[in-house]
Homo-oligomer: A and B are copies of this chain.
Amino acid sequence: MLYIGIDVGGTTAKAGVVDESGNILCKSSCPTGIERGHEAVIHDMAQLALSVLGGSGHALNEICSVGIGIPGIQDPRTGRVPFCTNLGWHDVPLVELMQKEIDKPVYVTNDATAAGLAESIAGVSSGVRSSVFVTLGTGVGGGVVLDGKVFVGPHGVATEIGHMITVAGGELCTCGNRGCWERYASASALIREGRRLAMSQPNGALASAVDGDLAKIEARTVIDLAKQGDPHCSEIFDNYIHHLCVGLVNLINLYDPEIIVLGGGVSHAGAFLLDKVNALLPKLVFYKAMPYARVELAKLGNDAGIIGAAMLGRQED
């Protein structure tokens, strides 16, 4: 059987037809156009899905289910999306509206959860029963697979690993708390610290790299200079690694996964990131003589959202 996966973000909606092994047979994307309201967006998502199904050369009766990854959560009591800031949604009956367009079982989950499921089926954590996927992007998102199944908790809110507080009283977070992990382990954290550096050293290497325009500082700018050995950017990146590992060791202490997968923008730093994590993390682990999660980089890239959303249906088979 085949599965449709839809990955809808604030800018782009993607859909694909996916086989049981997590291979994409056909995929496409379109602008989300959130300003048109959720009904138009959901209609377009369905049309996009049907169009990739056509492109794949398969028919609707070969499709098991439709899975949707959103930058938010579904309330498991109601099946509705209570709110989704990036889509501008409030209390949207996503399952019901999608089923009116495509009469198949519809599953909804968080986009990071979908990506984690995808990696655990067709990516770097393939064949592993327990994994935690961590997206190091604008924020920090999480996808947890325990004993082969997506874990979102009975209220569906167990994915907010980025809002785990690791520095009580620390940097103010968008959520209103202080010291959330994502304030220290996201790409935004590198940008913030980079801007602070460039402000304090207007003639330094980082400020020069962006011609003095602090708005141009990206996580990559800081990482590239750290790679080149700039001492100030190296300090920022090493501090970033420390805070990243603090959160990772918390994930180990609480979930004890077999593998932690790092995805999102910062993970593109590759071995430069991973080597530093693997040098520090063992020092922070509580049971140093016991086996614990290995850390790997995500493998599926941008397709993970489509694949994971599709595979939500395979879970329920």
Q: Please name all residues of chain B whose beta carbon is closer than 8 Å to the beta carbon of A256 when the two chains form the complex.
A: 152-158
Q: Which of A193-243 contact B (CB under 8 A)?
A: 242-243
Query: Which of B152, B154, B250 is the one whose CB lies under 8 Å from A129?
Result: B154
Q: Please name all residues of chain B whose beta carbon is closer than 8 Å to the beta carbon of A160 when the two chains form the complex.
A: 253-254, 286-287
Pair A249/B153 contact, Cβ less than 8 Å = no
- Indicate whether A38 reaches chain B with its CB closer than 8 angstroms: no
Q: Please name all residues of chain B whose beta carbon is closer than 8 Å to the beta carbon of A169 when the two chains form the complex.
A: 167
Interface size class of A (residues with CB under 8 A): 35 or more
Residues on A lying within 8 angstroms of B by beta carbon are: 73, 75, 77, 82-83, 129-130, 146, 151-158, 160-161, 163-170, 175, 177, 184, 242-243, 246, 249-258, 284, 286-287, 289-292
Query: Known contacts being A73-B287, A175-B286, A291-B155, is A168 close to B257, with CB within 8 Å?
Result: no
Query: Known contacts being A165-B246, A167-B168, is A253 close to B287, with CB within 8 Å?
Result: no
Query: Known contacts being A167-B168, A168-B166, is A254 close to B161, with CB within 8 Å?
Result: yes
Pair A168/B243 contact, Cβ less than 8 Å = yes
Query: Known contacts being A253-B160, A253-B163, is A258 close to B154, with CB within 8 Å?
Result: yes
Pair B254/A164 contact, Cβ less than 8 Å = yes
List 30 contacting pairs A-B, 8 Å CB cutoff, sorted by A: A83-B289, A152-B256, A153-B255, A153-B256, A153-B257, A154-B256, A155-B256, A155-B258, A155-B290, A155-B291, A157-B256, A157-B286, A157-B287, A158-B254, A160-B253, A160-B254, A160-B287, A161-B253, A163-B253, A163-B286, A164-B253, A165-B166, A165-B249, A166-B166, A166-B168, A167-B169, A168-B170, A168-B184, A177-B249, A177-B284
